[in-house]
């Protein structure tokens, strides 16, 4: 579902960023800066978003951070760049990076079938690579009606085990045989987190903290285990009415979407993800080369202009990384929040967009 056309907004921002000419004072063209601010403001107002944070960083040409709207509709407090938000599926890019590091260390192989680790799972012959690039065919548990009902009726506060999430998926028929198509499934990265825990003896949150958060100095980023939000934070809202749904239990998304971060940290992560800072050059090449076009699935029936794309909107998807208009990174949606972090390989530019509304 694409209720917020964040991708169209992002593509316009990408185009403007790459139109910037290098100048002597290491600052963005004032006309481009003004246009970016106008795009953010217009987008926020058109779609009823309380607040948007947007950051653009262009090496050698300057940067821009936009704070537009409010963090809290009750107090009218303005949204600020240092506020924490839930980053949803951007978590997947962290989880798969850990998996690739475990491959590098010889603890697992991308060709290992998931059944070696979870023997009872549907499509057990699907490989780790097919889970990471969304070609496993394993059902997406967040599309299961029973899960959705329980999630909502618990006010998003029920505590789940990873296995319970997988069980919701296993109660449904797989979309296709392993490798037989492409379908975005949160179950894939929940399972990858479980595999990481099996081979390391530590939770995926602990692995992300030790392998990514600490080395990159992401002081505002965490893999939480409770509904609490670190201060300061931007409140997250649903669509209509704009209910405050900031406090949700992260176990509902686990390795597929549990994390919290902030604008500057996501900029650092976009650079590391896109350039392969935490991987060998060989494994980063494997990751980039895994990007392949996304084939049609029913998510796209409401968008006749992009008939060969699927939701979330990418032109290509690979090992925990998506490509859109030449930019690589990941998008994320979680209860209360929508966001995007993308890196342009040729220029090293990064764009981060955060909206404190979901739906």
Domain boundaries, the chain: 6-355
User: How much is the pLDDT for 310?
Assistant: 38
Q: Are 256 and 186 in contact (CB under 8 A)?
A: yes
Tell me which residue has tokens 């097919």. Answer: 130
Which strand (E) or helix (H) includes residue 215?
helix 214-216
R_g of the chain, CA atoms, integer Å: 19
Report d(CA 75, CA 307) in Å as an integer.
43
Report d(CA 164, CA 208) in Å as an integer.
22
| DSSP state at residue 21 | P
Report d(CA 351, CA 327) in Å as an integer.
9
Q: Are 91 and 253 in contact (CB under 8 A)?
A: yes
- Give the residue from 187, 204, 341 showing the smallest Cα distance to 267: 341
Which segments of 279-354 does DSSP mark as H helices, in order?
A: 281-289
What superfamily would CATH give domain 6-355?
Answer: DD-peptidase/beta-lactamase superfamily (3.40.710.10)
pLDDT by position in tens, the chain (length 359): 334 556 666 766 777 776 666 554 566 788 888 988 998 999 899 888 999 999 999 898 889 999 999 999 999 999 999 999 999 999 999 999 999 999 999 999 999 999 999 999 999 999 999 999 999 999 999 999 999 999 999 989 999 999 999 999 999 999 999 999 999 999 999 999 999 999 999 999 999 999 999 999 999 999 999 999 999 999 999 866 778 999 999 999 999 999 999 999 999 999 999 999 999 999 999 999 999 998 654 454 454 443 333 355 788 999 999 999 899 999 999 999 999 999 999 999 999 999 999 86
Q: Are 101 and 273 in contact (CB under 8 A)?
A: no
User: How much is the pLDDT for 3?
Assistant: 43
User: How much is the pLDDT for 33?
Assistant: 87
Report d(CA 338, CA 211) in Å as an integer.
25
By CB atoms closer than 10 A (0-12, 13-18, 19+), residue 334 is: buried
User: How much is the pLDDT for 80?
Assistant: 98
User: How much is the pLDDT for 13?
Assistant: 74
User: How much is the pLDDT for 21?
Assistant: 60
By CB atoms closer than 10 A (0-12, 13-18, 19+), residue 205 is: buried
User: How much is the pLDDT for 8?
Assistant: 62
User: How much is the pLDDT for 239?
Assistant: 67
ω into 232 cis (within 30 of 0): yes
Which strand (E) or helix (H) includes residue 330?
strand 327-334
- First-to-last alpha carbon distance for the chain, in angstroms, is 8
């Amino acid at each position: 579902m694409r209720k917020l056309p964040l991708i169209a907004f992002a593509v316009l921002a990408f185009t403007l960023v790459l139109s910037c000419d290098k100048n002597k004072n290491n600052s963005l063209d004032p006309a481009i800066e003004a246009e970016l601010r106008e795009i953010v403001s217009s987008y926020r107002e058109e779609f009823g978003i309380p607040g948007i944070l947007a950051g653009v960083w262009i090496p050698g040409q300057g940067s821009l951070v936009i704070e537009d709207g409010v963090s809290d509709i009750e107090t009218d407090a303005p949204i600020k760049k240092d506020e924490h938000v839930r980053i949803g599926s951007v978590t997947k890019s962290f989880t798969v990076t850990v998996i690739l590091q475990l491959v590098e260390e010889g603890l697992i192989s991308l060709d290992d079938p998931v059944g070696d680790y979870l023997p009872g799972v549907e499509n057990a012959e699907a490989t780790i690579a097919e889970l990471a690039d969304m070609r496993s065919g394993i059902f997406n548990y967040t599309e299961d009606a029973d899960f959705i009902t329980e999630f909502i009726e618990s006010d998003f506060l029920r505590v789940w085990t990873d296995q319970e999430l997988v069980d919701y998926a296993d109660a449904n028929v797989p979309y296709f045989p392993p490798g037989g198509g492409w379908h975005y499934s949160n179950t894939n990265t929940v399972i990858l987190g479980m595999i990481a825990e099996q081979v390391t003896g530590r939770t995926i949150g602990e692995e992300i903290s030790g392998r990514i958060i600490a080395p990159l100095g992401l002081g505002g980023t965490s893999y939480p285990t409770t509904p609490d939000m670190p201060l300061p934070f931007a409140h997250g809202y649903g669509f209509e009415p704009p209910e405050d749904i900031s406090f949700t239990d992260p176990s509902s998304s686990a390795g597929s979407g549990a994390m919290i971060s902030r604008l500057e940290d996501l900029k650092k992560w976009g650079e590391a993800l896109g350039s392969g800072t935490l991987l060998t050059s060989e494994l980063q090449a494997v990751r980039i080369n895994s990007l392949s076009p996304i084939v049609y699935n029913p998510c796209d029936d409401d968008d006749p202009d992009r008939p060969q794309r699927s939701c979330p909107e990418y032109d290509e998807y690979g090992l925990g990384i998506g490509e859109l208009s030449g930019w690589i990174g990941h998008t994320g949606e979680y209860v209360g929040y929508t966001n995007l972090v993308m890196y342009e390989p040729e220029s090293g530019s990064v764009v981060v967009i955060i909206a404190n509304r979901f739906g």
